[in-house]
Amino acid sequence: MLFNTVNHLYSSPTAIRSIRKEDSEGSFIKSHDLSNLHSVSFAGERCDIPTYEWLAHQFPNRFLNDNYWQTESGYIMLSNFKNLETFKFKPGSATKPTPGFKFHIVDENTG
């Protein structure tokens, strides 16, 4: 396999947790040349902080993009775009609404 040709990985937090469970030291990752890997994005649910930190340890100085989307939305709703406006990483946060989405926090009083 030509792992050194991969420059972006798009996965899910669930898949990353499975990898971490089976290879907590990242031995498989370290056994391959991933020097061309520039960024890793997470799809679906928000990435939990321990998984994010494990991946950051495996891939230091890489752009880790925790984004949130669901099938019903048809597109990424929250993200940290590498080439639009990039914000400081914050583990556990999917960063900012993507263009076209506007969110409001509501409860029974603000409806």
Q: What is the pLDDT of residue 1?
A: 54
Q: Is the pLDDT of residue 80 over 60?
A: yes
Q: Stretch 19-41: mean pLDDT, rounded?
A: 91
pLDDT at 43: 80
pLDDT per residue as tens digits for the range 96-105: 888 888 888 8
Quick one: DSSP state of residue 53? H
Q: What structural domains and CATH numbers belong to the chain?
A: 3-97 (3.40.50.980)
Neighbours of 85 (CB within 10 A): 9
pLDDT > 70 in the chain, percent: 95
Indicate whether 25 pLDDT > 90. Answer: yes
Structure-token match 């391959």, residue found: 32
